[in-house]
Each structure stands twice: as C-alpha cells, then as structure tokens.
Amino acid sequence: MIVIDPLKKLVHNVHNHITNDKRFNGSESIKSSWNISVVKFLLEKLKQELVTSPHNYTDKELKGACVAYFLTKRREYRNSLNPFKGLKEKEEKKLRSRRYRLFANRSSIMRHFGPEDQRLWKDVTEELMSDEEDSLNEPGVWVARPPRFRAQRLTELCYHLDANSKHGTKANRVYGPPSDRLPSAEAQLLPPELYNPHFQEEEEEGGNENGPISPSFDQPHKTCCPDLNSFIEIKVEKDE
C-alpha cells in the first residue's frame, strides 16, 4: 500500500485547482520571476488551508514542498521535449525497483545458508541483481537477465537462492542472456568474488561465463539457465 504525504497531496490539489491560473512554468527556472510568484502564492494558499489542520508545518517545510512540486513539473516539461528519454527513465526506474525487491527476497533467505555463503553475500548490492525485464513475446512473463559484470561464484549463489525461493521458481519468471547494463563506479570497487573486472575481455573472446548466451533475448522457456533443481539444497519458504 502506497502512503501519500498529506502535504504533497495538498500542494498538488492547490496548484491544480480549477480556479487557479497561477501555475508553475516548467520551461523556466525556479528562480524566474513567474515561478517565484507561484511559490509565494502557494505558500499563502497552503497556510489558509492549514489553519484548522493538526499539522504544524514550518514555512521551510511548506516552501520545500512547493519546490519539490515544481521539480515534478520541470521534469514533466523536459520529458515532453524528449518523450523517448522519459520512457527510458521510467523503464530504468522500474527495473531498479525490481532489483531492490529481488535483493530483498534473496537476502531474506540467506540466513538459511552456510557461513561461507553469508560472508560472500555481506557486500552484495542491488546492482548485482538481475534485470527482470518484461517479455516482448509473452505478456506477464519476466525475463531475468544477470548483470554481465557479476562474478561467476556470485551467480551460482544467486541460482541457489532462486532455487530455494518461491519468487525464483515462479512459472512466469524465465531466464535470458546477460543484460546490457554496465557497472557503476561503486560496483567496480567490489572484490573479485562479486565483480568480474574482465567481463568485457571475456565477451570479446566469446567466453562469457555468467550465463548461457541465447540467440534470442526473449526466450519463452527457461532455456538460458541451468536446471534450478540441481541447486536445490533446502526448502526455506513455506508454500502458501
């Protein structure tokens, strides 16, 4: 369940009220005379709306909420100039959110594994999780594509975790070839048991060991991954 900040919602409602014609201009800076006047207008309106409210917001908090809403309108304006960039940012945000969920899912069952695996997992970050992309061929199916730069040892541990979790063995989750995502500067500082610094050389030599390369990105079956049954050691999640 998503909890909406009441102040954020109030700013949105006041700014977009049908009777209000003093609205942010996303094509201009927050410091433009027009947008400064909009901030002042919103502050006055917000204070009027909050007279009987139990919330005691400071002027700084009110102004911060107004500026935050301006940034939203600014982003909408910029995306309208380059809709493809906006779609790309939305897709990247979705994949990042899925990586965080996958990381949380795997971390939650790591306690059932041995000390050596737990030590390896200690420095793992969400960036080392697979990109679970929407299938282009089958609606509702996710294609898990491991990062190209993830070390083989960690990849095998991830397969172990997936084989022992409900999420990893879902029928609508299939495996694809490594993703096109490149490592961040932070990822490149990780130890070699997590990050493979030679992944590009291995790709050029045709020897990527991070996962079987498939001729097609969007496979309809789990043909891009080893049989997960071979990784099952313990059943750590109860069936519902």
Q: pLDDT tens digits for 117-176?
A: 999 999 999 999 999 999 988 889 999 999 999 999 999 999 999 999 888 888 899 999
Bridge partners (DSSP) of residue 143 are: 133, 174
Q: Which of 185, 180, 175 is nearest to 219 (CA)?
A: 175
* pTM attached to this predicted model: 0.55
When the pLDDT of each residue in the chain is averaged and rounded to a whole number, the result is: 84
Please say if the pLDDT value at position 51 is more than 50: yes
What pLDDT shows up at residue 3? 38
Domain coordinates in residue numbering, the chain: 6-81, 93-231
What pLDDT shows up at residue 76? 86
- SS3 for 172? coil
Within 13 Å of residue 178, how many CA atoms lie on the same side as its CB?
A: 24
Hey, what are 66's tokens?
């107004």
Other CB atoms within a 10 A radius of the CB of residue 235 amount to 11
What pLDDT shows up at residue 29? 94
Q: The dihedral of CA 35, 75, 126, 1: what is its sign? A: positive
How far apart are the C-alpha atoms of 77 and 86, rounded to whole Å?
10
* Residue 5, φ and ψ in degrees, nearest 5: -60, 120
